[in-house]
Structure 1
Amino acid sequence: MSPTTLMILISSLATGTIITLSSYHWLLAWIGLEINTLAIIPIISKQHHPRSTEAATKYFLTQAAASALILFSSTVNAWETGTWNILSMTNPQANILLTMALAMKLGLAPTHFWLPEVLQGSTMKTALIISTWQKLAPTALMFLTINNLSPKILLTMGLLSTTIGGWGGLNQTQLRKIMAYSSIAHLGWIAAIAPMMTNIMILNLMIYITMTTSMFLALITTQSKTIQDTTTSWTSSPTITITTMLTLLSLGGLPPLSGFLPKWLILEELTTQNLTLMATLLAMTSLLSLFFYLRLTYTTTLTLSPNTPPIKHKWRFKPKTSKLLTITLPASTMILPLTPMMLL
């Protein structure tokens, strides 16, 4: 793909998201989502491989169906109330349709089936965009309409997503599929806290994006695509191997690291709202995700591949460490002490 074409597509991608973020009219928000979808399709399918074509087709069909559902729900609400304002979604049926559409856009269970397949058919960089940037616009719409959405449906979706995200990742050997199930689980936490505390929801989204970006950049640098590839990542760069381990543990939500912060706040808020059972179930389902994060940590830092080259380092490839990795890494591992400042 030529640099000019890629620049146009990335600009369109950013423009679509910004239009949705800044809109107050449902048609404008829908236009932003459509621009976003149409811009990412060529980026997914640029490999000219049957797998990437399949991924692009699945992504297009799912996102088109979700956009149509958003348009239908807003039309139903406009028919009932006479307004197209995003903040005036008062029709219960329209709100249920909107919740399902946003869940499909985000990859929340039970409409999560497209996400692992699309990520597996994409390149690592494209998978990074789908896992991070593409979550901003639907989350913004959820943020704007959260006062009218059903808390019971969101809590059920959140619990289902954390369960499926943990369970589905256990059986995977492909790192992109593991990151897809990780995304489903993290978005489950976001959906669970959304009806109660939107500021914790935004904080969780920011930390999730930072950790996922850091993890994908580390995998891109070491050229790792399967669990077996992580066993030789130390030959590329021992420093990145250590940082990958810390990022994985942070994704799992272990206490000294940044990933513990949103889970801690969410469990505290759920307990305050007398949803103790929900908090307990969420904490238990996160153990499933923690298992495959720990398995990846183990293969990355504590095992040697049976076919390790006789030389100590990969002499043929000098890793080009991304500057973005040096920015996202401290944020994805070391911001837990800043918790009091973030809650002001």
Structure 2
Amino acid sequence: MLSSLPFSLMFLVIMVTGTLFSVSSIHWLAIWSGLEINLIGFLPVLVYGKKISESESAVKYFIIQAMGSSMLIFGSLIIYTSTFSWEMVNSGVMGIIGGFITLISGLFIKLGLFPFHYWLPSVMAGLSWLSCLLLTTWQKVAPLYLMVCLMELNQSYEVFLILCMIGAGSSVMGGLGGLNQTQVRALLAYSSIGHLGWIVFAIVHSEWVMKMYFAVYVMVSVCIFMSLWYKDSGMAKDLDNLSEHNFLQLGVVVLLLSLGGLPPMLGFISKLIVILVGAPKSYLFLMVMVIGSVMSLFYYLGLFFSMSLSWFKKYELTDMQLSNNALIPLTIMFNLVGGLLILSSNMFNSLYALVIFYQP
């Protein structure tokens, strides 16, 4: 992709423009048009490598996104028959549950949420690392923003219950699906499904917490995908090649554990804030989501032990080697001690008070 930078930048600009056009509109036709412009800009990025697997994934992605867009426009037509208006601001007043469910189901399909999650691992398994990064980060912005807007317009208990069930189901499916995966791309796809469950659960409780969680997920994902793109590690066994670069391997291990939510790393802190906000209202769903998160952490720990054993096997650690690589234990200690300080000091109390203050 980097060999033809103007070609790539043109379609990336179209993709970004479509997303911005969608999130800045209150007209359902304009929102749908922005999503289609985003799709038109993203498809050439998917197939630019001219591999058979990329073309297959691009066709699957196009079919799924077209299905989600059709449900989105169909739901807006149902709303229009009652309100005679295409504006989003009138959609929460009409009380048509059928149009709302159709709209939000289209967003679920576009995001890859439970029970419409089966397309995401198969699509990501055949894409390049840059396409996977865009698919798991930027392509989620517009549907999540629209879901936040729909929640503000319709705050009934039925919608609250549906989104909590979707979030819990996505977390569990993200944990179960990744247990038997050997492809790193598919494993990260199931991880994305699990994290989307947490994001949807955060939407119904606090918009600020959802934005914080999504920002942390994007930062960690960018670092992981760029590291794996650097070494082109597509299979779990290929992660052993990272042992040639000690600092890169350490960074990937720490980021994977953080993405899995291992205490006391950054990914755990974001999940802990969601738990603090959602526990008073829906602790039963939170229990299910924590179980799904533990299953996700299980296969991340499997990757961690695989990479660690390969590293110890290649390097017989002596006192001299440890002194030459003193930054490695110092970095690990900094992550552990830093996270424990956040959890045990007054900073954590201030963080909890800030979360409670920003609740709607």
1:268 has 2:276 as partner = yes
Q: In structure 2, how many angstroms separate the alpha carbons of the residues matched to 1:93 and 1:201?
A: 26
- 1:301 Cα deviation after fit: 2.5
The two structures have a TM-score, normalised by structure 2, of 0.83
Distance 1:74 1:172, change over 3 A: same
Q: In structure 1, how many angstroms separate the alpha carbons of the residues matched to 2:275 and 2:102?
A: 28
Listed one character per residue, the Cα deviations across residues 285-305 of structure 1 (whole Å, up to 9, x for unaligned) are 111100011111122233259
Aligned residues: 319
Equivalent residues of 2:165, 2:285 under 8 A apart: no
Q: In structure 2, how many angstroms separate the alpha carbons of the residues matched to 1:26 and 1:251?
A: 35
Q: 1:117 aligns with which of 76, 100, 122?
A: 122
Between 1:64-73 and 1:334-343, the stretch displaced more is: 334-343
- 1:278 Cα deviation after fit: 1.3
Amino acid at match of 1:207: V
Partner of 1:77: 79
Q: In structure 1, how many angstroms separate the alpha carbons of the residues matched to 2:312 and 2:138?
A: 34
- 1:3 Cα deviation after fit: 2.3
Q: 2:181 aligns with which of 163, 172, 176?
A: 172
Between Structure 1 and Structure 2, whose CA radius of gyration is higher? 2
Equivalent residues of 2:174, 2:190 under 8 A apart: yes
Q: 1:47 aligns with which of 38, 46, 49?
A: 49
Distance 1:27 1:268, change over 3 A: same
RMSD: 2.2
Q: 2:231 aligns with which of 222, 234, 247?
A: 222
Between 1:98-107 and 1:141-150, the stretch displaced more is: 141-150
Q: In structure 2, how many angstroms separate the alpha carbons of the residues matched to 1:336 and 1:300?
A: 28
1:187-226 alignment, distance < 5 Å: 187-226=196-235
Amino acid at match of 1:256: P
Equivalent residues of 2:175, 2:194 under 8 A apart: yes
- 1:96 Cα deviation after fit: 0.5
- 1:334 Cα deviation after fit: 7.5
- 1:47 Cα deviation after fit: 2.1
- 1:51 Cα deviation after fit: 1.4
Listed one character per residue, the Cα deviations across residues 261-291 of structure 1 (whole Å, up to 9, x for unaligned) are 2211222222211x22111111111111000
1:231 has 2:236 as partner = no
Partner of 1:162: 171
Identical-residue share of aligned pairs (%): 33
The two structures have a TM-score, normalised by structure 1, of 0.87
Q: Which runs of 5+ in 1 are unaligned?
A: 310-329
Q: In structure 2, how many angstroms separate the alpha carbons of the residues matched to 1:244 and 1:304?
A: 13
Q: Which runs of 5+ in 2 are unaligned?
A: 316-334
